[in-house]
Amino acid sequence: MHTIALTREVLGLRGNPGAASSAAFTLLGPDLRFQVDGEGVWSMAGPGPGPGTPLSELRYAVVDVETTGGPYARGHRMTELAIYEVRAGVVADEYRSLLNPGRNIPRHVAALTGISNRMVASAPFFDHIATDVLERLEGRIFVAHNVCFDWGFVRRQVAEAIGEVPKVERLCTVRMARRLLPRLRRRNLDAVTRHYGIDFADRHRAHGDALATARVSDQASR
């Protein structure tokens, strides 16, 4: 299927052809299951979610995490996790939880996120919810704003807890914004939500950021 036909018939994009084509390459380009030839015709390159499965029928897990502020390799861990499952462009399920990181939350991080040591003292350790998190991610496309950061923490903590890594494709809304909004000077979540006119509550909390990211991905794919 040619890129233009793909954007119209599968993605349902009716706007500027250039922006619509960029959306197709952003969504499918990194996915090894798809290939495109020099004429812009797309085809399946390997096993996928099923022959002819419309993108609108795929399931997305939009994720955001808050952490203690440093790299995983230095013992920093998540303090909050939120997952919004999106089906056919609609939020179908929500999961969120504070997490006990097993270490102190620095004052500047607590001031930014509003998550204090007292708040997480009685929260579950990630080990206690790891299986549930794995079930909510597998079979879905993992979406996040700066996906490398969120995926890095989730992947490592799931692997550490149960010895298994979620088998997921990943989509980064920062990379999507770079393709679709080249004139936007900044592509952080504040700038992108402002561009699309999305109301944004609970900034720097996992549930607020994840919901805003879900709305950004929906607006960008139109």
Side-chain-side CA neighbours of 53 within 13 Å: the count stands at: 13
Q: What one-letter code names the amino acid at 8?
A: R
Q: Give the CATH number, domain containing residue 100.
A: 3.30.420.10
The tens digit of pLDDT for each residue in 9-33 reads: 555 555 556 555 666 666 655 555 5
Q: Assess if residue 210 is contained within a domain.
A: yes
The span from the CA of 203 to the CA of 213, in Å, is 11
Q: Are residues 152 and 111 in the same domain?
A: yes
Burial class of residue 142 in the structure, from the number of CB atoms within 10 Å of its CB (0-12 exposed, 13-18 middle, 19+ buried):
buried
Binning pLDDT at 50, 70 and 90, where does residue 122 land?
very high
Q: Give the span between the Cα atoms of 93 and 149, in whole angstroms.
A: 23
Residues spanned by the domain of 30: 3-44
Question: Residue 59: in which H helix or E strand, if any?
Answer: strand 59-67
Predicted TM-score (pTM) of the model is 0.74
Identify which of 81, 8, 62, 34 has the alpha carbon closest to the alpha carbon of residue 171: 62
Q: Spell out where 68-123 has E strands.
A: 78-87, 90-98
For residues 32 and 189, the answer to whether their CB atoms sit within 8 Å is no
The token pair that represents 85 in the structure block: 């499952």
For the stretch 143-199, pLDDT in tens is 999 999 999 999 999 999 999 888 899 999 998 888 888 888 898 999 999 988 998
Tokens representing 181?
């909004």
Identify whether residues 36 and 64 lie together within a single domain.
Answer: no
Asked whether residue 50 is assigned to any structural domain, the reply reads no
Segment 32-51 shows an average pLDDT of 54
The reply to whether 52 falls in a domain is no
pLDDT in tens, 65-110: 999 999 999 999 999 999 999 887 788 899 999 999 999 999 999 9
| In contact, 45 and 39? CB cutoff 8 Å | no
Give the H/E segment covering residue 63.
Answer: strand 59-67
Q: Are strands 141-144 and 59-67 parallel, antiparallel or unpaired?
A: parallel
Q: What is residue 60's predicted lDDT score, i.e. its pLDDT?
A: 92
